[in-house]
Structure 1
Amino acid sequence: MKRASGNLLTLCLLVAAIASSFIWLQLDLSALLTADGRSQMYDYAAAFFPPDTSPAWLLKLWRGALETLAISAIGTLLAALFGAVLSLLAAGRMGAAARALCRLLLNALRSVPELVWAALMVLAAGLGPFAGTLALALHTTGVLGRLFAEALENTPSAPAQALRDAGAGRVAAFIYGTLPGVLPQWLSYTLYRWENNIRMAAVLGFVGAGGLGQMLHVTLSLFQQSKAASVIMAMLAMVLLVDALSGWVRARLG
């Protein structure tokens, strides 16, 4: 009985919070149901069809897709390399003080969203794909560094300890005793983050970080809805293809 009352109270609080949010934000959903609102939504959606499939525009889309793919791939690769190095510190391999400082750094890197990093990097490095690559690398380093560290903490220490007892150094014991146990998990994490970065790289262009996102921002700003529709379709196709490829590779690793 008490549990049912508690659930009912929680539901009432959620409903009250949602209603208060609508009132505070002054959202008027009834405007969507008026004849004028429906007509405007239909006209705007109809302007996206048919998508622009002219050869010149498709060539630009191809180049933009390759740029987006390159931004995500290089950003993820840099993040995996730096995350692997920082994970050694975050896992406590270099002492408790280094562990605390490194975890603080990783938390700071991943707590800042990619779009915020991109806006900062555009100011620091200028417009273009370099800013997008740096933004993805910084945020993903925080994510992968934490995941890699947790994988290191959970891996058995017996193989590495056996090598140390046999006279191997710390580096050799890590490479031959610890790394083989965590490498498949590290690769799986990296591929999964690459999937996410593909989607994010397509969005970072809205702040001037290059790729398909920048093309979408420009076409929408110029009210070129047919071209924007083809950009959106190219984004969807690229994300679906990379998701399928990454899922297949992760299944093989598992």
Structure 2
Amino acid sequence: MRATPDPIPVPPSLFSARCRACWFCAALLVLVVASFASLNLQWAQFFSLEAARSMGRFLGEFFPPDTSPAFLAQVLQATWETLAMSALGTVLAAAAGLLLALPASRLHDGDAARGRGPVRLLLNALRSVPELVWASLLLIAAGLGPFAGTLALATHTAGVLGRLFAEAIENAPSGPGDALRVQGVGPVRVFLYATLPQVLPQLMSYSLYRWENNIRAAAVLGVVGAGGLGQMLSFHMGLFQMGKTATVLLAMLALVALVDLCSYVWRRQLTR
């Protein structure tokens, strides 16, 4: 007896009333259309010939960049200051984020996790305030300079990494930890010998990724007086010294590209 061929599957309809994802996409599309309709976007003026000429004259003022040895030494010092701010801020944030992630996560099925809700609200509060606002607030206590910028990066990034670390800890396989708990091992040793080894590569990857972001943020924080390349950029642009501004911008691009490359290589090594 000849077997009946399987029916050809019919592709799903483009929009289904029972599809939640379809309704979400439709609502998102309506929101985008409403945003374009409510904003006074001057597209014709933006793409006009006069705007192109003005932008060309403005970009022409950046050339040639200032390459005098005395100014390059200042830029090199500011570059190192920006790099140090981002690195120290990320290290402090990773330590604080891990300490906050423990009470913000449910370590096993029987864990009451009474502090999970309040600590997660704290993490939301820390990361909801941008680094630039934190720097403006901390300048009052720490004064002008890289110290306020470092604290601002650490405060904001601690909220981001704390939430990411908590999710990684909660999603870790519970088998090794359960085996140790059955044998009467305490919670601290369970975390150190069962949970942490499983999530450590993921935690390091998150930290390196945030370091990439903090390099860009540290370059901007100098605008409010937090030191580094951003402070030089704000100073020379305010004086319309466009040649010096171009040199600072090139240093920012080089620093971001270098850190992105190093972070990418390190994250690839962690995932092997």
> What is the TM-score with the length of structure 1 in the denominator?
0.90
Q: Say which SS state the counterpart of residue 211 (structure 2) adopts.
A: helix
Residues 121, 135 of structure 1: 8 Å contact kept: yes
Match of 1:61 among 72, 75, 89: 75
Question: 1:48-82 deviations in whole A, cap 9, x for unaligned?
Answer: 00111111111111100100000000100000001
Aligned residue-pair number: 249
Pairwise mapping of residues 173-188 of structure 1 onto structure 2 (< 5 A)? Answer: 173-188=190-205
- Residues 223, 85 of structure 1: alpha-carbon distance in 2 compared, 3 angstrom cutoff: same
Q: How does 1:20-99 map to 2 (within 5 A)?
A: 20-22=38-40, 27=42, 29-30=44-45, 33=48, 35=50, 37-93=51-107, 95-99=112-116
Residues 128 and 18 of structure 1, relative CA distance in 2, 3 Å threshold = same
Q: Note if 1:243 corresponds to 2:260.
A: yes
Question: Of residues 168, 171, 182 in structure 2, which corresponds to 1:154?
Answer: 171
Deviations along 1:167-209, one digit per CA (max 9) or x if unpaired, are 4222112111111001110000000000000011001111111
Q: Radius of gyration: which is bigger?
A: 2
2:143 is the alignment partner of 1:129:
no
Task: Give the 3-state SS of the residue equivalent to 1:90 in structure 2.
Answer: coil
Q: 1:159 deviation in Å?
A: 1.1
Displacement of 1:111: 0.7
**Matched residues in 1 for 2:197 and 2:27: separation?**
51
Gaps of 5+ in 2: 1-12, 17-22
User: How far apart, in 1, do the equivalents of 2:178 and 2:30 lie?
Assistant: 56
Q: CA deviation at 1:31?
A: 7.1
Match of 1:89, SS? coil
How far, CA to CA, are the matches of 1:110 and 1:243 in structure 2?
Answer: 22
Report matched runs for 1:80-229 at 5 Å.
Answer: 80-93=94-107, 95-229=112-246
User: For residues 96 and 218 of structure 2, what CA distance do their matches in structure 1 show?
Assistant: 19
Counterpart amino acid of residue 251 in structure 1: R
* RMSD (CA atoms): 2.4
Larger helix proportion of the pair: 1
Q: Give, in angstroms, the shift of residue 96 of structure 1.
A: 3.3
Alpha carbons of 1:12 and 1:155: their partners in 2 closer, same or farther (altered >3 Å)?
Answer: closer
1:18 matched to 2:36: yes
Determine the structure 1 residue equivalent to 2:5. none
Unaligned runs of 5+ in 1: none
Overall identity of the aligned pairs, in %:
56
Once the two structures are TM-superposed, the CA of residue 121 in structure 1 deviates from its matched residue by 1.0
TM-score, L = length of structure 2: 0.84
Question: CA offset at residue 118 of structure 1?
Answer: 1.1
Amino acid across the alignment from 2:38: S
Matched residue SS, 2:144: coil
Shift of 1:16: 5.2
- Change in 2 beyond 3 A, CA 1:90/1:11: closer
